[in-house]
Structure 1
Amino acid sequence: MGDLFIVVGGNSLAYRLSYELTEHYGVRTTAIVPAEETSYTIRIAERLGPDRTIADTYVSKEALRQAGIDEAAAIAFVDGDDRANIHAAMLAASMRPDIRVVIRMFNQRLGVHIRQLVDNCTVLSASATAAPAFVNAALQRPHSVSAGGRALRVAIGSAIDMDRTPRLIADGIDRDSQEDIEVLPEAAAGSRTAEWMLLQERSPRHAALQFLDASDTGTPRGSHQVSPTSRLMWRASDTLRFFTSAKLRTILIASVVTLLVSLIGIWVLARPFAWALYETLLDVAGSAVPDVYGQPSAVGGDVQRVFQVAITLCGIVLMPVVTAVFVESTATRRSVRTRQPSTGLRGHVVVVGLGNAGTRVTALFRELGVPVVGIERDADARGIAAARVLDVPVVAGDRPIDDALRRAQIGRARAVVAVTGDDVVNLEAALEARAINPEVRVVVRLFDDDFARHIYTKFDNTASRSVSYLAAPAFAAAMMGREVLGTLSVYRKVLLIAEVAVEEGSELAGRELRGVDQPALTRVLAIRRTGSDDYDWSGADRGRVLVPGDRLILAATRTGFGKLPKKRAAD
């Protein structure tokens, strides 16, 4: 096998992965893209060249051979369709049983079984990889990655805790000029004293990587304290909304209010309460005996007659409405439909778009105990069924985004996370949410860096993330036979956390620990020596020579991870 790698797909992840392989790993790359031209297939062709981009209606043997499967080291299937990826992967494996296969799959349970069908296979989920970054951005808490029994997270400026054994990992931080942020700066690979002095300043321009116990993730709960009376009123309102449509609710409420006013009127004017209630119920059913013209009134006079007429007329309306509610709730089986947002929601998160990413983000909020509401235009979207299983309320249907946000109680929400596959739709949702609730936290999924830069420049309390940007390093590493434990974000910059073994024949063997550190590329965080069960996070013995069997936990930029020493070829 050579240094040829194949990417199959025509979406944002396919483009990011092609860029990752060529720019950061410097390997030859070909792509098989759909025959229908899109903005992403155009970008892929511009990146790889037309002779390295094969357009095909579906992944055929001819397309795989033209892409160079006979000499490729690895192939990645990153289409958004699980079934298409599985079929294509099995075809590729039948043609080249020894090729390394990477498959993008949303269904991770199925992915476990696919590994038994396809040899030398890695199954990854782009949405599962990226979802924690969106969730933590919405909750305004540092995203953490578990490694070697520790939880690693990024702290900026005054949030740096000097008791957490911090390591400087970024300098020159400016949210309005993020291209100038320097990740893994020179001080990180230099004197520990110089680094410590920089961290002591806790400057807003510095970011540190902090080490915590694996269980110390600082997970906030999403409970919101309300009074029992308010909770009871909201529960009654939600029950009424569940069993009735908007028109039926209007008629029902108007009829009940009229009945109550008339009941009180009869009670006050002429009858004990029990007798007034008795006559009211009979009037509702149309069974009360009216006064006879010309005879003395048996009731409370003209005013009570008015009340009884109102009750009788309301009864004519009320009884069919009650019947309609019963028929609607049973005949249409409303119990299996998605729950609507409660009028009593407070401090919740609104997720716009229940596709792959939105479904993962929603499930993660639910797992953390944070109240969440989904918004989805497509009633057949994957996330609708998932929301029903998770008992998450959803505003579904093709309606204006401002109306959907109001139905989702955005005015009392803590955050909105817009994660549809369209940058413009996400931007619109974010702007509409901010217009309704200026204090709401906004997290936007954006592929376009110019969009993201403008968002950071113009708005506070806002974060931008890209699913493909976060996921591409993990897919590229898998194609190389490596594993990325997770990614940490410093705004739009990404830091990779990886575990690397020192193997026989590796260029790492025989090198001093300090020699692995490269400014702007890599930084050794911990080492587990041969024969030991625990990682040493102190970083004290930087002169130790690495031997086969040692394991390192590294922080690396995308380029640094691509340039890590490879195993030497056999003589």
Structure 2
Amino acid sequence: MAVELPRDPPGRSFVARLRRNPDGRPHFVVCGADALVYTVAEELANAGHRIRLTVIVPTKLRGDVPDLTTLRGVRVIRADRLDERTFRSAGLAGAAALALVMPDDVVNLHAALCAQAVEPDLRLVIRMFNTGLGYGVRKLFADCAVLSDAAMAAPAFVAASLGEVAPTHVRLAGRTLYVARRADVNPEHVVCALTAADGAGRVDVLPADPLPAARRAADLVLAEATGRPAGQAVAAQKLVRSRRRRRPFRVMGRAVRAALNRKLGIAVLATLVITVLAGAVLVHADPVEGFWKSLYVTLLTAVGSSDVEMERDGVAQAAQLVLTIAGLALLPLITAAVVEGMVNARLALNSGRTAAQHQDHIVLVGLGSVGTRVLRQLVDLGLDVVAIDRKTDARGAKVAEQLGVPFIVGDAALEETLRSASIATSKALVVLSTDDVTNLQAALNARAVRPDLRVVLRLFDDDFARRVQTAFNIGISRSVSRLAAPAFAAAMLDRDVLATIPVDRHALLVAGVQISAGSPLDGVPLSRADRPQSVRVIGLSASGSEWVDWSPDHRRVLAAGDRILIVARRAGLRALAEQASPPPELPESGEEAS
């Protein structure tokens, strides 16, 4: 899961801001215009926290957004512009956190700037589609988390395509991490242990390493997925060349088939037939001695080099006229056939392996924000993928080319497009385009070809997704907003939660915690942050650096601005966040304690 790592403010901590509210209930504000605003509000309303929640939405909402007034204790404000006036009327001054989940990066950025003018001491959770822009936005604000719903949803689609129960694949800081049995993972790729069973029914969560030998094989670990080695595009090209050497005749036959265009070939053949027949009539009507002279007269007339012969009879003149016209049509047809044949043959030779030869692969439809992230994670896991999108310039088209993934430009709602991707021999179909109709049609057509195919279907409306799953017997129908909402809510309530990993009956959180100046962890060894069965440190990013050290020395002394990457239980994360924050500011003399 590619998630930005927000930096904590140098001043008052988030915990301190929660404590300052006179009524003891922190105020949270959520702004949005699509289904995500409802699911985030629902998560916050049902989280079991004593909070005050205000939701700001446009006067006219999309039809797939449920009625927000049905949520208990939620105040709804309708406004078409997120400016200072709107935020003041919503009571943003004194609020603890603001979530901006509008479906437009620029709108969210403008709203964040306006919100900062109303309440400078505010935690911001901003939805960003453009991850590059997200890095820059994060640096503009003291306490800001930049999240992508595409990044949050991608692991669930990956897990569903593999037939797993829970979304256990997380892309983080350039790596894809996943949950597996220790026995199935190379020891070099283990990041940390997640569970360990003692054989008597007891399961320890986040145990200390190393474990006793008898308990190492069956425990769950968080491991790195490597897939193909670095330089995947180069490796793919080498693989193509090696296959080309092993099967030269098959590759050449594929190139010849690709070079032959059926419609163009019929046009050329028809023109040739007319040319031959007209030439035969001309030679017969205009006596020519010998085969060579007959061929000579026919070809010169066909290319338009014949002169007008008034003394010839009518039959010869008619044949000459037909032959000349046929020749004028034949030359451009031959030129077009040669050019197209060379292009198609070259593409066939360079592809090395067409989609029709794939087996046990995953067909991925839609290379937008979500589809591109799913594509990267599937390739990281070493899986074969065939991608489909309507647009040649889709967001993930270049990514597919770099990873050596076959890319088919076509409408996935058509059965012939799915067949060209070898849907009949695939292991799963993952449909992630932004068109619900196309997604559903592609799923139904794929099931018509192969009734037992695993289908992972993206639909925008969560209620519609559930009904489709029941009515059409499609095993997995998912809503991106429903998948992403818990992460946005967690970022507002539980600090910088980057991912949630269901393990056994527990929910482990992957989070980033920044060390603030003057906090209990400032100036102590990293080992003080690592607590077996509560918090496990998996990485460290030094102050002012984006690079993550995945094997940090636990004797390293922590400094203000350092960021610790952890896997923790909820209580463990809260305790560590308290230790990483400076003590609450004491009221100055003469002031009443809030």
TM-score by length of 2: 0.61
Q: 1:285 aligns with which of 303, 313, 320?
A: 303
How far, CA to CA, are the matches of 1:431 and 1:467 in structure 2? 20
How far, CA to CA, are the matches of 1:64 and 1:210 in structure 2? 42
Query: Quick check: 80-89 or 120-129, which moved more?
Result: 120-129
Q: CA deviation at 1:419?
A: 1.2
CA spacing shift, 1:342–1:163, aligned 2, 3 Å: closer
Q: 1:356 aligns with which of 369, 376, 383?
A: 369
Q: 1:46 aligns with which of 70, 73, 77?
A: 70
Question: Does 1:155 find its partner at 2:170?
Answer: no
Q: 1:443 aligns with which of 437, 446, 456?
A: 456
Deviations 1:38-70 (A, max 9, x none): 466435433354x51212223243431232210
Residue matched to 1:13: 36
Question: Does 1:188 find its partner at 2:205?
Answer: yes
Q: 2:488 aligns with which of 475, 478, 496?
A: 475
- Tell me the SS of whatever aligns to 1:32: strand
Q: CA deviation at 1:287?
A: 5.3
CA spacing shift, 1:79–1:450, aligned 2, 3 Å: closer
The amino acid that maps onto 2:75 is: R
Contact persistence 2:267–2:333 (CA under 8 A): no
CA spacing shift, 1:427–1:208, aligned 2, 3 Å: farther
How far, CA to CA, are the matches of 2:294 and 2:32 in structure 1? 74
How far, CA to CA, are the matches of 1:560 and 1:551 in structure 2? 16
Q: CA deviation at 1:137?
A: 5.7
Q: 2:105 aligns with which of 50, 57, 82?
A: 82
Question: Does 1:143 find its partner at 2:173?
Answer: no
CA spacing shift, 1:188–1:534, aligned 2, 3 Å: same
Aligned-pair Cα RMSD in Å: 6.2
CA spacing shift, 1:515–1:35, aligned 2, 3 Å: same
Deviations 1:85-116 (A, max 9, x none): 12222221222233222322222223333345
Contact persistence 2:40–2:485 (CA under 8 A): yes
Residue correspondence of structure 1 range 165-564 to structure 2 within 5 A: 167=193, 169=195, 186-188=203-205, 200=217, 208-212=220-224, 225=243, 227-232=247-252, 250=263, 252-258=264-270, 281-282=299-300, 284-285=302-303, 315=327, 317-319=329-331, 344-346=354-356, 347=358, 350-361=363-374, 372-376=386-390, 384=394, 387=397, 393=407, 395=409, 400-406=413-419, 410-411=423-424, 415-421=428-434, 425-437=438-450, 442-445=455-458, 448=462, 451=465, 466-479=479-492, 482-488=495-501, 495-500=508-513, 524=536, 554-556=566-568
Residue matched to 2:96: 73
How far, CA to CA, are the matches of 1:273 and 1:167 in structure 2? 86
Contact persistence 2:196–2:216 (CA under 8 A): no
Deviations 1:270-298 (A, max 9, x none): x99999986775464355799x8899x9x
Q: CA deviation at 1:349?
A: 5.3
The amino acid that maps onto 2:303 is: A
Instruction: In structure 2, list runs of 5 or more residues that go unmatched.
Output: 1-16, 19-25, 281-288, 341-350, 543-547, 587-594
Deviations 1:155-178 (A, max 9, x none): 26985778976745599xxxxxxx
CA spacing shift, 1:343–1:20, aligned 2, 3 Å: same
Question: Does 1:64 find its partner at 2:62?
Answer: no
Deviations 1:466-506 (A, max 9, x none): 53355445434544583345455779997532244677666
The amino acid that maps onto 2:365 is: V
Contact persistence 1:238–1:343 (CA under 8 A): no
CA spacing shift, 1:232–1:46, aligned 2, 3 Å: farther
The amino acid that maps onto 1:64 is: F
How far, CA to CA, are the matches of 2:563 and 2:396 in structure 1? 39
Deviations 1:185-215 (A, max 9, x none): 8543689999987875x5xxxx822445x86
The amino acid that maps onto 1:154 is: V
Contact persistence 1:402–1:433 (CA under 8 A): yes
How far, CA to CA, are the matches of 2:530 and 2:132 in structure 1? 41
How far, CA to CA, are the matches of 1:451 and 1:426 in structure 2? 11
Percent identity, please.
Answer: 33
- Tell me the SS of whatever aligns to 1:52: strand
Contact persistence 2:367–2:389 (CA under 8 A): yes
The amino acid that maps onto 2:55 is: A
Residue matched to 1:175: none
Q: CA deviation at 1:345?
A: 2.8
Query: Quick check: 403-412 or 425-434, which moved more?
Result: 403-412
Q: CA deviation at 1:82?
A: 1.5
Q: 2:78 aligns with which of 36, 55, 65?
A: 55
